[in-house]
Structure 1
């Protein structure tokens, strides 16, 4: 197998990034990991991924060990592709020694793909945005 700069680059991206449909599939398969919402309180109350742990980026260094046991892999998300909050959160977890992946697309693409979202009042139902997910499927089979 030929190893090139491109091969190294793309392999690293797949090691450190994931996407909403892959996170959903991993959860459905029972893979053990902590899904962390790194947004602030107002964003968390507005809507979040069902079952996520709320741990704002600024609190990770001080609270992560009490919330997520050592050795548990972590997937972090923030608002969406226009926000680098999940990158900062992933860095904070990596500095603590956690295996961490960033969910590209963030909460925005999770919600746009029609995946389970809740707020303080219960489930938020929304149809998938056909620009982000195929009709009747949770992934694009890419």
Structure 2
């Protein structure tokens, strides 16, 4: 009878040092936020950031977070961002976890010199958490585009 030695796939690559791990997660938090944090800040009048919906104009018209402005990710340029304050952080969102529109929007905005965070979960999780939306269809709008 042959005995096989088991090998840990989790520990095959050793964990980083606590200092490196801390730096990694602080860097993630510097670039990402979530639905709960955005909702909390807005509920408490902490609106030192600009909220941008990077989905299509049609999707925005049908359902968006109140107070968000619409700037589709493919239309982000020096011209379309000229009126945005460069001293305020921008928070971008798109459909949800399966959508990379917010990532593309954040990349384009940061290339133009803006400080940007991506709201994880997008409008999908904003709605799933029961938060207020506005638009021609409101909560009856499609959950994905």
**Counterpart of 1:8?**
23
Alignment counterpart, residue 50 of structure 1, candidates 66, 69, 93: 66
**Counterpart of 2:102?**
86
Displacement of 1:58 in angstroms is: 1.6
Alignment counterpart, residue 63 of structure 1, candidates 57, 75, 80: 80
**Counterpart of 2:112?**
96
* Per-residue deviation, residues 79-130 of structure 1 (Å, max 9, x unmatched): 0000111000011111111111000001100011001111136x548xxxxx
8 Å contact from structure 2 (residues 94, 123) kept in 1: yes
The answer to whether the aligner puts 1:36 opposite 2:64 as a matched pair is no
Displacement of 1:3 in angstroms is: 4.9
**Counterpart of 1:135?**
none
The answer to whether the aligner puts 1:120 opposite 2:136 as a matched pair is yes
Displacement of 1:42 in angstroms is: 2.1
* Per-residue deviation, residues 37-75 of structure 1 (Å, max 9, x unmatched): 000122112211111000111222131122x22211100
Moved over 6 A (4+): none
1:73, 1:120 → 2: CA distance? Answer: 28
TM-score normalised to the size of structure 2?
A: 0.77
2:76, 2:49 → 1: CA distance? Answer: 16
1:26, 1:107 → 2: CA distance? Answer: 16
The answer to whether the aligner puts 1:73 opposite 2:82 as a matched pair is no
TM-score normalised to the size of structure 1?
A: 0.79
Q: Aligned residues, how many?
A: 122
Unmatched segments (≥5 aa) in structure 1: 126-142
